[in-house]
Structures are given as C-alpha cells and as structure tokens.
Structure 1
Amino acid sequence: MTEQLHIVGGGMAGSEAAWQAANAGIPVLIHEMRPKVGTFAHRTGSLAEMVCSNSFRSDDSEQNAVGLLHWEMRAAGGLIMEMADAHRLPAGGALAVDRDPFAEAVTARLRAHPNVTVVDEEITALPESGHWIIATGPLTGSALAQAIAEEAGQDSLAFFDAIAPIVHADTIDMSKAWRQSRYDKGETEDERTAYINCPMDRDTYEAFIDALLAAEKTEFKPGEAGSSHKPTPYFDGCLPIEVMAERGRETLRHGPMKPVGLTNPHQPDVKAHAVVQLRRDNALGTLYNIVGFQTKMKYGAQKSVFAMIPGLQNARFARLGGIHRNTFINSPTLLDDAMRLRSRPHIRFAGQITGVEGYVESAAMGLLAGCMAAAEIRGDTLPPVPQTTAMGALVTHITGGADAKTFQPMNVNFGLFPPVDAKGGRRGRQVRYKMYTDRAKADWQGWLGVRQAAE
C-alpha cells in the first residue's frame, strides 16, 4: 500500500501540492485549521482563499517572469492556474480572478479527488515521522510557528503584509471617475475598460498626502514593525501607502498612483497629476479593490482619507484595509535543494513560509514540493529543476541561491535566472526577456518529460 502524504495548510501552496501528488497516485491528507481556527485575514473555510489582492499579476509569458511562471504551471497541469483561468476577470494584461468562486472551485476539485482527504484540524507540532509538507503560509498558527522556531534554533523571521480595501461599485461616482486600462491594454473592450480611474489634481494630491501622513495608524507591539526592539520589516512589494508617502511626497505618483497611459474623458485636455485605480474584484462587477492601497491606517482614518479621492467621496466599503504579521523561515539555511528540512528530511516546506512572495510563487513552490514528495514516496528521484526555468530560479534562490544573512521574501524576476547574452536599450531588453522565456519553456518541457516518464 502506498504511503500517505500529509500536507499542513490548504492555501495556494498546499492545494497545489495536494493536486500534483494525488494525480501522481499518492494518497493525500490535507490538514487545514480553518474554519475551526480562524485568522485575521481569512473570511471562509475554503481552500486557496485569496486574502489580499485578487490579481495573479501579469499573464505575459514572453516578457514577464511571473507570466512565464503562469505558463510553466499550466504546462504542469496546475490546479491553481486552471481554476484561475476558469474564473478570470477582465484586468488588461493581468490575470485577476473572482476570488470566492475561485476558492470554492479549488476546494470542490480537491474534495472530489479520490486520492485526497481534507480534515479540519490544527497541527501544533512538527511530526516525528511520515511524509509531510508544511505549507501554512504567512499566517502560520502560533504553536506550530514556535515549534518551527525551536527546531531551527533561531528566532522566526517575519515581515508585515498589508491588505487593500474593497469598494462597492455602485457607490463610485462615475461623473468623476472613468473606465480604462492603462494604455488601453487588452484584446477586448472588457479588458480595455477593466479599471476604474479616479483623477487628482496637484492640490488634491498634496492634501491627500498630508492626510495620509497625519492619519492614525495601527500600533505595533514590541518586536513588530515601528517598535524599537527588533523591528519587523515590510515587504517592499506590498508596502502600506502611508509608508510609501513617508519615503517622499512623489513616491505614490511614481507607484500605484502614476497618471501615465490614461485619459480622462470628462476632461480630455487636462492631464491628471495622479490617478487612483480600482480593479474588478468579482465577476458581477459589484466590487472593486483599490490597486496598491494596502494600508495600516485605522478604520475611521481610512474612511475619511479615502473620501478625499475624487469619485470615492461617498464610497461604501465591503472591506477596509488591514495589516498582519507574515512569518517565513530562513530557507537557504534550513532547507536542502529538494525543499526538505535538513534536520528532519521527512518534512518539506512550501509556499510563502519559504520566503517566496505572491500567490503564484507560493503555488509554484507547492507544485514542486508535491512532485518531489510523490516521487520520493514512489522510490523515484527527480532531477533538479533547471535554474533556467521560473520554477528552478525560485527554488534555487530559496534553497541556497540567496544570501542567508540578508534573506528576504522575493517575487520571481529575471534577476534570479542565469543571464542570457543580449544587448542594446529597450529593444535589447525585449529581446533578452524573450530569450529568457524561450529557454525556460524548452527546459521546463524537458523536465516535465522526465517527471512523466518516472510516473
């Protein structure tokens, strides 16, 4: 009888790991503490619940590293990408999904799989034997997090992650706002009008920045960000807007509020000084999230500050923003190249707890962990994933490519890949990125062929 694989955590990584192993013929038991044990950010007991943005970011597999990662996961029969595609929302060149139907579909597929069992229970200690994948994500339960820290012989690493607010669409004043994707990007009218844009002139922007800086913020406990004792850092890819504003008054204009590629049909001859964008958050188009507006402002402050945004002066919020502590391990020190805990090789780690950042990256590491665990249980050995692929670049980074002393969460990017030889300005960069993706696709298909032969 084939040995069972235990997966702790049913988020993006745990769900994908379970799917890959189950399809390889391995019986899988998913241990998910929700809904019995809730978290600050989760609302449901569904697997693969999206708690922050509803975007998987760029879907361009020829010029973008995360788009390439999408391609690799699709080629591997990934459940997360299949369900994301099935519940896709218009978002220009990005892959945005209808979050609740997406999570419900992932849950239904896994619960219906003959090789998968889901149990609602919290795992509070590291297992002594068996085959395990820990994919508990950024909100690992305190008891398990403590057990991991004790095993590692060091304090847990952590950073702060923030959540953007969601607005009811029918409360947005469209006499001030308009629908348009940046640079009219998209193949269909739906995609070209996927975003709602709220313009600001210079005076409104300056007053908005003043209000952000003065707003009442969430207070942190000792040892957390903003305190004097061992401050916990923010992840640069998900900074609260008020932290960005503290870095300079123009920072937001060059970040989530950049006005480029947009024309206000209400005033086509007037160039906005800054633009706040909202992206559809559900298929009905009744909810929109404010893009890049993660925040640690208190709820009352959020309502008053966001009411300063033209078009949102009477907006009603389905969810206000928030901030939570996001735990991850020092993977270059603790994990081997097969994602196993060096001190307990029967335990693998996957997902955001390993120090990758983002839904797609987390699911990708779950995919690899599931494949590796399934092969190990069968008695097979998979070759290393080529570092020239997006999967390989990520797993190499977290299991030894990064400097352990300065290790921080990382999104996939071409800087993690072995370089290619292409030179020459903007055109040269486009050629170079295409060389990266062409090489990656060929090498990933080769690796998948070896995996399939082993199965």
Structure 2
Amino acid sequence: MEPVHIIGAGLAGSEAAWQIARTGVPVVLHEMRPAKGTFAHKTGDCAEMVCSNSFRSDDDAMNAVGQLHWEMRAAGGLIMAMADRHRLPAGGALAVDREAFSAAVTEALRAEALIQIVPGEITDLPDDGNWIVATGPLTSDALAQAIRAVTGTDALAFFDAIAPIVHADTIDMSVAWEQSRYDKGETEAEQKAYINCPMTRDQYEAFIDALLAAEKTEFHEGETAGYFDGCLPIEVMAERGRETLRHGPMKPVGLTNAHNPTEKPYAVVQLRRDNALGTLYNIVGFQTKMKYGAQTQVFRMIPGLENASFARLGGIHRNSFLNSPTLLDDRMRLRQRPNLRFAGQVTGVEGYVESAAIGLLAGRMAAAQAQGRDLTPPAPTTAMGALVNHITGGAEAKTFQPMNVNFGLFPPLDEMRGGRKGRKDRYPAYTQRAKDDFSAWLAAQ
C-alpha cells in the first residue's frame, strides 16, 4: 500500500500520523527540525508546545474545548493520551509537562512500525500521492512560497490582524440596535447586517483614555511590528489623534439609534456577523495588541457590551493560514489539487487542541482514501464537525481569521429556540448532543 506523506510533525501532523497508522496504512512523516529551526521551537521533538503548557478547560459538560478533548479521547487520540499521562495540577484545566509530553509523543511515533519519520525540509508540493500539509503557523519560507504558487498570492497571511469576537446573545440589545450604514442592502437582512453600540462624547473620551493607557503585548523575537494599512491596531490609530477612531471604524454617520432616533451618537462601535448561524459577531476594525486582561476591561466600556462574553480576543502576531473557506473542501482537500490535504493551524483553527483535532480528522480521511473509502466529517453538532464546518464554508471568507472552538460554532438547539436559556442548561445540552453524534460517527466507520 502506498504510504500517506505528512509534512510537519507538530501536534496536527503527529496526531494525523498516529491515526493513519492505527488503521494499518503506512505513513512517512517529514519534519525539518532540528536541522532547520524556527524562532519559537527549541527542539526537534514531535508535537513541541511553544506558547504555553495548557490545553485549556477539561470540562466536557460545560465547555466546548472540553468537549473537543472528549471527542479526541473517544477517537483514540495520541495527543490527548500523552497529555493525560503527563498532566500537571491546574484546577479545571488540562496542563502538561511540555518536555515530557513532547518526548512521549515522539517515542510513541518512533515505536510504531508503520510510521517512518524522515528529517529534512520539504520545499515543494507534489503533484500526486496522498499528502497532508500540517506545517503550522511557522511554515518555512520555501514551502509557504510553494503554497502561494498553488493557491494564489493572497492565500496566506503572515501577520494576522485579529479583532475580538463576541457571543451574540451577550450583547445588550436594549442599548444596541441592528442597522447597516445608510440602510444599505436590498433585503431586510442586509439592511440590518450590523449591530451598533452608541457612545456619547464623555463615553468616547473615557474609552480613548483607557485604550491609550492599556498594557500592550510586545512582539516576539524574530517578529517585526509592520502593519497592513487596512488593519491597523486601534491603539495605533488612537495614538495618531483622539478623533482618528471617530473618523475611522467608530464613525457615527449613516446610522440612527433605534432606541433614541432624535439623539445623534458621538461615536458608534459596529459588530458584524462572523458566522452563518449568527451566533458570533466581530467588532469591526478593532484589531488590537492589548493584553487579554486589558481587552476585556476596555471593550466592556462600550455601551451594550458591558456583559459581553468573548469567543475570541483580538491580537496581531505572525501567522500563516489558508483562506480555507475558499480553498478547501469538507475533506480538507485543496480543491485545485485534491491529492493535498491541509491540517492544523494552517487551516485557520487556533489553539493546540483544535490543531490536533483537525490533524486527527485529516489523518482518518487520508487513511480512508488510501483504503479506497470515503470518510465524511462528523456532524456539525460535534466539536470537530463544528470546526470543520466553520473553516470549510461556515465562516465568511472575506473576513476569515483563525478561530478557537466555541459553542457559537454549534447549530442552535431546537428546544432552546422558544426562549433564552442559561448556560447551566444550554451547555450540557450542546455537549450531550455532541457526544451522541460523535459516537455515532465513530461507530459508522
């Protein structure tokens, strides 16, 4: 049987290799480290964790990432098995001994007879065979150039400018209102495509003061602070003048406060739907490099967002990712070159667990292909299925940015539509539905 080739032995590539080998299909795992390193990695081990030692919440009843943990364990995932073996006390979170974890993943892969780990950099994309590209956010320059040659010059971004994303049901609609600027749009849905949060002059001035005073994140060694003109951090714009934001992303023109039509807002913060379900909204033009704690404090000063729950906070950092909604099918294959699958953070998921989960799916799908089968993704009601659905079509392609798993990606619960329910009832219902549907997906293979 022809082997599946995987480029990159990070969390996604390691999990993909493990899943493929467990089905009886041989794997060649290519890894450029340690011969060619990155500014972030320190070793040549597989699945090296570079940013933190946390897999976040392990609560599979009340948390979406905890549900993703559950699904990966149910699927026999190597990453979760090694994380459990090397976990550290961390309250409700899953934290690991990074060095021991990475060494254990490497040892397990090397001990598997069907996995061959080949050192060296891959600099081109093959035209045939069964390949998975799992190179992560620090894809080498040569391979990134090869990916751009296949997908188009705008397919990869090397500094992603990320705006915060808010859970729609935590926006106070007694303060905010729905309206597109100048009521643009041919349909009512288009004319109400934005949620608007108004500010008085005093509120705006206080917001600017807090924005300028907030603690900012410094760039890592090896990164530069060059920004795209169209997505400057809001604090950089504010430093250019106190009225800059009011004449930029916070301009109040073309809008009428539905709650008080006679009073003109001094400034307006707009939120735009971020997914097809309408459960998530991003704060338009609010890319930021404020530290996370500062972001929640400053952004909750915005009228209507005082009690906002954030699905993702903002940031600007070096990253390489595909515009997956336009480039990948739901088997995570490149539409122009279906012999190539992509997995991990390069697909536009954010986080260790999400990266490994997409690797798990890509591995199983590639193994099925090698065996002459077709494996459909899990239902979008599952954590893995929700992620795949988001990156391959559920997200808005024009504003696509990396995303963590969260309940905003899950289809709403039918029984909840009659009225708003609290998290205590809603989240366990999401996870129980996900467990049932993921178990059925596994049983059908």
Deviations 1:189-245 (A, max 9, x none): xxxxxxxxxxxxxxxxx99x96946x98779989x6435477699999x97545875
Go from structure 1 to structure 2 and tell me whether the alpha carbon gap of 1:216 and 1:445 turns closer, same or farther (over 3 Å shift): closer
Distance 1:221 1:105 in 2: 30
Q: Which piece of structure 1 moves more, 351-360 or 407-416?
A: 407-416
Go from structure 1 to structure 2 and tell me whether the alpha carbon gap of 1:423 and 1:429 turns closer, same or farther (over 3 Å shift): farther
SS at match of 1:117: strand
Amino acid across the alignment from 1:43: K
Could you say which residue in structure 2 is the equivalent of 1:353?
346
SS at match of 1:85: helix
Deviations 1:28-65 (A, max 9, x none): 01100000000010000010000001110100001110
Instruction: Give yes or no for contact 2:378–2:384 (8 Å, CA) kept in 1.
Output: yes
Could you say which residue in structure 1 is the equivalent of 2:412?
419
Q: CA deviation at 1:149?
A: 1.1
Could you say which residue in structure 2 is the equivalent of 1:315?
none
SS at match of 2:428: helix
Instruction: Find the partner of 1:403 among 396, 409, 420.
Output: 396
Could you say which residue in structure 2 is the equivalent of 1:439?
433
Deviations 1:272-298 (A, max 9, x none): xxxxxxxxxxxxxxxxxxxx9x99xxx
Could you say which residue in structure 1 is the equivalent of 2:17?
18
Could you say which residue in structure 2 is the equivalent of 1:157?
156
TM-score, normalised with respect to structure 2: 0.69
Instruction: Give yes or no for contact 1:220–1:226 (8 Å, CA) kept in 2.
Output: no
Amino acid across the alignment from 2:434: A
Matches within 5 A, 1:53-64: 53-64=52-63
Q: CA deviation at 1:423?
A: 6.8
Could you say which residue in structure 2 is the equivalent of 1:298?
none
Matches within 5 A, 1:254-403: 325-403=318-396
Amino acid across the alignment from 2:78: L
Instruction: Give yes or no for contact 1:145–1:156 (8 Å, CA) kept in 2.
Output: no
Distance 2:437 2:28 in 1: 32
Amino acid across the alignment from 2:10: G
Could you say which residue in structure 1 is the equivalent of 2:29?
30
Instruction: Give yes or no for contact 1:158–1:232 (8 Å, CA) kept in 2.
Output: no
Could you say which residue in structure 2 is the equivalent of 1:168?
none
Q: CA deviation at 1:158?
A: 2.5
SS at match of 2:444: helix
Distance 1:423 1:97 in 2: 39
Q: CA deviation at 1:140?
A: 0.2
Instruction: Give yes or no for contact 2:39–2:221 (8 Å, CA) kept in 1.
Output: no
Answer yes or no: is 1:146 the counterpart of 2:138.
Answer: no
Runs of 4 or more above 3 Å deviation: 159-162, 209-213, 215-222, 224-236, 238-245, 247-254, 423-427
Instruction: Give yes or no for contact 1:423–1:429 (8 Å, CA) kept in 2.
Output: no
Answer yes or no: is 1:429 the counterpart of 2:430.
Answer: no
Instruction: Give yes or no for contact 2:354–2:404 (8 Å, CA) kept in 1.
Output: yes
Amino acid across the alignment from 2:57: S
Instruction: Give yes or no for contact 2:377–2:388 (8 Å, CA) kept in 1.
Output: no
Q: CA deviation at 1:21?
A: 0.1
Go from structure 1 to structure 2 and tell me whether the alpha carbon gap of 1:232 and 1:248 turns closer, same or farther (over 3 Å shift): closer
Q: Which structure 2 residue ranges, 5 or more long, are not aligned? A: 162-208, 236-281, 303-311
SS at match of 1:111: helix
Go from structure 1 to structure 2 and tell me whether the alpha carbon gap of 1:414 and 1:137 turns closer, same or farther (over 3 Å shift): same
Q: CA deviation at 1:154?
A: 2.9
Instruction: Give yes or no for contact 1:423–1:432 (8 Å, CA) kept in 2.
Output: no
Q: CA deviation at 1:81?
A: 0.2
Distance 2:223 2:85 in 1: 42
Matches within 5 A, 1:186-225: 212=215, 225=226
Instruction: Give yes or no for contact 2:330–2:389 (8 Å, CA) kept in 1.
Output: yes
SS at match of 2:438: helix
Q: How many residues align?
A: 339
Distance 1:367 1:390 in 2: 13
Go from structure 1 to structure 2 and tell me whether the alpha carbon gap of 1:435 and 1:53 turns closer, same or farther (over 3 Å shift): same
SS at match of 1:130: coil
RMSD: 3.6
SS at match of 2:320: strand
TM-score, normalised with respect to structure 1: 0.67
Could you say which residue in structure 2 is the equivalent of 1:132?
131
Could you say which residue in structure 2 is the equivalent of 1:226?
227
Deviations 1:101-144 (A, max 9, x none): 00000000001100001011100111111110000000000011
Q: CA deviation at 1:422?
A: 2.4
Deviations 1:275-334 (A, max 9, x none): xxxxxxxxxxxxxxxxx9x99xxxxxxxxxxxxxxxxxxxxxxxxxxx951100000111
Distance 2:53 2:221 in 1: 27
Identity fraction in percent: 62
Instruction: Give yes or no for contact 2:12–2:355 (8 Å, CA) kept in 1.
Output: yes
Q: Which piece of structure 1 moves more, 63-72 or 142-151?
A: 142-151
Could you say which residue in structure 2 is the equivalent of 1:9?
8
Q: CA deviation at 1:432?
A: 1.2
Q: CA deviation at 1:384?
A: 3.4
Distance 1:27 1:218 in 2: 38
Distance 2:66 2:218 in 1: 38
Distance 2:350 2:218 in 1: 28
Distance 1:405 1:67 in 2: 30
Distance 2:56 2:291 in 1: 23
Q: CA deviation at 1:381?
A: 1.7
Go from structure 1 to structure 2 and tell me whether the alpha carbon gap of 1:228 and 1:399 turns closer, same or farther (over 3 Å shift): closer
